[in-house]
Amino acid sequence: MIEIIPAIDIIDGRCVRLTKGDFADKKVYDASPLEMAMQYADCGVRRIHMVDLDGARRSKPMNMKTLEEVASKSGVEIEWGGGIADDSALASVFNAGATQAIVGSVAALRPAEFSRWLKIFGPDRILLGADVRDGVVAVKGWVQQTGLTLYEQISWFLEDGLKFVVCTDISRDGLLKGPSFDLYAELMEEFQSVIFTASGGISGMDDIKELDRIGVPKVVVGKAIYEKRIKLDDIRAWSLNA
């Protein structure tokens, strides 16, 4: 069964959701990141997807205290992204308790550096964050288009042992209108050695069931949970059967 990975996006230590990656179109939620993480842990979730949006904009991790708190108290594994731009930033994320680091901008703009990290830390700890708008990779908190296609970016790192790719369709993110089913099916067909995580557009459990049906291994879910399109009981039931 597909693994449901709840998302917690953070600005100023608070849970937020953006629409299509637009920082001007954000919604702030009352629950703290730790409160949300504890609720997910109670539902049997093994892993949480956390994004430091302040870090993504400033190209350096900004919410390390939040990461430390969630990592030390929730008991779940954390895949963390946002602002990981150099060795120091990557070390700080791991030292604060992240299980895996999601790297996007460095992979697109300084691929040799990303390849080195894959070799040093191993492909189980370094995830490629492949965020695309109209098939083109976007970086720096999704505000900069690279001209690089998704397929080109993934292909760069196959020889380095790339194992995990978190692929977000920015055009669907936060809209609750369904993910890009065809995109993930095509990616899995093209790159059969890669484990993909679908992200962006999940509107309800039917979307998750369809992703599961076509064989997607993992899915990140954010706004649909906050807006109660997917309830904690749904996640609990799915996690128990996974």
Please say whether the beta carbons of 218 and 45 come within 8 A. Answer: no
Whether 173 is a known active-site residue: answer no
Active-site residue (options: 54, 131, 169, 207): 131
- 25 as an active site residue: the answer is no
How long a stretch of residues is the chain?
242
Contact call for residues 15 and 33 (beta carbons, < 8 A): yes
Q: Confirm if 230 and 239 have CB atoms less than 8 A apart.
A: no
Residue 220 main-chain phi, psi, to 5 deg: -95, 130
| DSSP-assigned letter for residue 97 | T
Please say whether the beta carbons of 79 and 127 come within 8 A: yes
| CB neighbourhood size of 215 (10 A) | 12
Are 72 and 97 in contact, with CB atoms under 8 Å apart? yes
Alpha-carbon distance of 104 to 83, in angstroms, equals 9
Catalytic residues: 9, 131
